Structure formats: structure tokens, C-alpha cells
Chains A and B, each alone.
Chain A
Amino acid sequence: MPSKQTLIDAKGFARTVNRLAHEIIERNKGAETIGIVGIRTRGDYLAHRIAHKISLMENISVPIGSLDITLYRDDLRGKINQPQLKTTDILYDVHGKNIILVDDVLFTGRTVRSALNALMDIGRPASIQLAVFVDRGHRQLPIKADFIGKSIPTSFNQQVQVLMTEIDGEDAVCLLQEGGND
């Protein structure tokens, strides 16, 4: 049995979302120019949380969309199970926008690489900024996040789980001893 350690509880989770929203507004001098894109599946839920916060704070509606990166993955053939292909659902024009790309865990950087390629195929944003809930290190590509919920130093074999009410019934961040994020 892998041992499981809770690093962020529900309260801490809400605070972190709040802080990320604040930092995004600050960096972009408001929310007029931004669009939010979440990477399916958990990044998508996080994106909605952050967008909601920003909307409340700035009193405007922030455009939001979801990105499925399956077709851009570099490990499709290595997978034992073929991943279910979901739709990319970005109904607004990304052209000229400052896009906030949201994911739950930043690890090797490969997911973000795929997401960047996917985004560029959809249009030409003014900029892309990366927001992640957890940065656990071990990058394999030259990628860094602009907004980080929490940096958690890990060993390669550990696993970081971002749990969300929408999927898991609770908000929390946990560290698992065995296995690894992909």
C-alpha cells in the first residue's frame, strides 16, 4: 500500500485558488485582455475556479475554454491504454489575447509542451502564461510556470494528487509514496 500524506487541505486549497487569481489580475493589470484555458481534465476544473474568482473580483466575465491535448502527446504509442479523446472546447477567439493556461501539476513539462502546440494551432494569442496548482520539479523540457500554487519538492517515484470536489468529492493535495505522475 502506498502511504498518503495530505499537504493542502480544503481551506488551504481555496486560499491557493484565491492567490492565483490575484496574481493573474496583478500581472495582467486587470482581466480585460485575458482568456483562460484549462488542460483536461483537472486543469479544466481549476481553470473554472480561477475564472470564477477573477470574475467576482473584477466584475467581468472571463472567457474560458478547455483543451484536450491527446492528439499532441509524444507518448501515445507507449500507453498501454489508448486515452479517450475528448473535444477541445474553446469558443472564443484566442487571437491577441493573453492566455492563461491552467494545469493541476507541473512535472516533466511534456503536457505543457503539447498544450502549447495545441493552442498555437487554434490561433495566435498575444502571450501564453502558465498557471499550475503544484510544481513538483523534475522538468525534462525548458518550461517554467508563471503562477505557482505551491512548489512541492518530490522524488521521481512519488506521486502528487490534486483532488477536486467535482471529481473526487473533496479539495486537497496529497503526496503518494509510490508510482509517479505521467
Chain B
Amino acid sequence: MSEKILLQQGRLIDPKTNRDDIVDILVVNGTIESIKQSISPQNDYKVVNLKNKIVAPGFIDIHVHLREPGYEHKETIETGTRSAAYGGFTAVCCMPNTNPAIDDESLVTFVQMQAKRVNGGIVDVFPIASVSKGREGKTLAPIAELVGAGAVGLSDDGAPVFDAKVMRRALEYAKMYNVPVMQHCEIPELAHGGVMNEGKVSTELGLPGIPCVAEEIMIARDLILAAYTHSRYHVCHMSTAYSVELVRQGKEDGVQVTCEVTPHHFTVTDEIVRSYDTNTKMNPPLRTQEDIDAIKEGLKDGTIDVIATDHAPHSLDEKEVDYIQAPFGIVGLETAIGLTITELVDQNFLTLTQMIEKLSTNPRRIIGKEIEVKEGERANFTFFDPVLEWKVETAAFKSKSKNSPFNGRVLRGKAIGIFNNGTLLLY
């Protein structure tokens, strides 16, 4: 017996096929059977009314910390993918800063197997493997094997590949397998000991600062290396105005560079650190209004390709310490769509189409997992309501951790469900 689902009267926006119209979509056994202006429902159809809702190609978050193996008290592949599913993502890329680090094909395989086993396999997990063995930045991890096992990108995220020679080799080696090297940009000696953006606020609070140049210098170096090696380079969680400018210049110069920003870096400044709330501590740190303005401009003009959350769960006990002791990072999967619509779409920095590009089309292209919404393809959708107002309640998060500075904030726009791997999930 086949399962027939009729997605009725949603506004389908697919930047890849250049679509933006209100349609009925019939999905049979997880495959798109037909997309038409109107499809008459039959008795055996399950009908989903999507009037005034958006149907988009499934969103992907290419920067997520699932914490498994090694830090299961913060998050597991099961809880992390559930958080993704309820945040409106049909896929995530998980970062390799686990314990042990994902620097071996068995671990790449483990993550993918685990992802298929949990939550009915509704969320695809595409592992990012480490650049260097043990993420130590010294010698290359077995990149060919890692890619062979399913890794879609390489990163030592959490730490930079700080040795220029190692970075050069990583870029060259990764080029053979057409995967990007995704850099956590930070000059360790300049960032050393810092816990927030260096500037007026850090000076007032007496907290050691991380200067913007710690990020910018590494981006500049890497852009030169990427140009020199003709390799693909991706800047993770970019946070400063000059970083945006560097990438813009790099693109103009023909460097194969892409980049991402997180919702928190276009939403809040270092002013909110004044509370000493450890949920405002992340790396890179929250910057200034000028940085936010530049990031928004970069998103608008296409310099910034991707919105990714850097979802970084930590347990309450770990975060409930003084600011300097607290670990970096916040959870982001369940607030990403709301923040993007509230801060970018509603403020006319992005159209809905551009938003979908940055949450689906572009990141999928970067890791080589592109999809199209057309007949005969597997159904892979994110459904969201672009005007729904809701209040963030961290206690209700599906993530195992609740470390978010946005608790209590009212946002506009929310995912209402996803469809992937034959499973429809409506919340």
C-alpha cells in the first residue's frame, strides 16, 4: 500500500528551479509525483493544508555540534537531529570536535549510521571530518579515506588550522576530492585568553577581549593560500565587518571562497554581555553594531553565502559558572528561522528567496548535496510560516541543552514541519 500525501496550496519557493508560486504537491511514497496549480484530493490522500505557508527545499545547517561521541551529556545525534527537525532543518553537517575527534573513517561511518537509526532517519547528517589528526593542527588527517566514507567537508572547528604550512597542504589535498576546507579563523596568540569582543564593552567589564583582527588576519592569510593553491576555502562563522570586506574582495579576485554567518552574529552585539550571562559567551564573540550592519550588507549583496547556526550545546552545569570559566557557544537550530526572518527578511535585507538560498541552496551546493523540487525527486521540504509570532522558551527546546541568550525573545517566523526520507513531520 502506498502513502499519498497532498501538500495543498503552499507557496513553493525553490531558488534552484526559479520557482515561486502557490501549488499543490502530491508526494507518493516519499517521491514527488506531481506539482500543479491544483490537484483534486482523492480518498486515499492525506491532505495537508499549507495555505499562507512557505514550502522550501529542505534547509540544511552546515555548522552544528552534535557532540557524539564523547560529550553525550551536552547533546547526542538523536537529540541534536530532533532539535534540527523541530528547527526546520532536514539536514545538518556535524563538526568533528568530538571525543575522539572525527579524524578516522570508522567515526564518519558511525555518525552516519547513528543518524539513520534515530528519529526515523528524518534528518540527514553529513559529517565534516577534521583537517588534521586529532584536530591538533600538525599533520593531515586521512582526507581521502574520510571523504570516501562520506565526509563532505574538512574542518578543525573549535580551533584554527594555525600552521600556514599545514593549511596549505590541507587546501591542496582537499582539492583532489573537491571538498572545502572550512576554517575557524582565529590567530591563537591574539585571541589568547579572550572571552568576548575586545572594545569599549570589554574594557568596561574588565573581561579579556578577542580582537577582531584575530579573525581578519587569518582570513587574509587563508585567502592568499586559497588563491595560490586554487583550492576551495570556506570561512566559518564570520563575525566582523572587515572579514566581510576581505571575502568580498577575495570573491572579486576570483578566489574560490565561500562563507557563513550565524544568526546571533547578525542579531546581538557585545552590549548584551553586560549581564555577564554566560549564554552570551561564544566564539567568535558577539561584536558591534557596525559589524552587524556590515554582515547584513554582506548577506544582501551575496558576499555571505550561508546562514549556519554553530549550534553548540553545553549543559547547564557547564554554563552556570563565572564568565571566564564558562565554555563558548550557544544552541541555535531552533531559533535560526525566527531570527533570520525577524532580523533579515522583515528588515528587507533578504527576500524569502534569498533566505532560502542561504539556508538551503547555497550550503547544499558547497557540500555537494544539492536538491531540486521537481517531479520524480525525493520529497525534501521545509515548511514554515513567515509571519507567525512566537516567544522563545528554551525549556521547550528539543535540544538536550538550553544555552541560548534568546530565551523570552519574541520572534516572527517559525518552521511548522519538514518532509524528508519519506517521513512527514508536522509539529
Are A and B direct contacts in the complex by CB distance below 8 Å? no
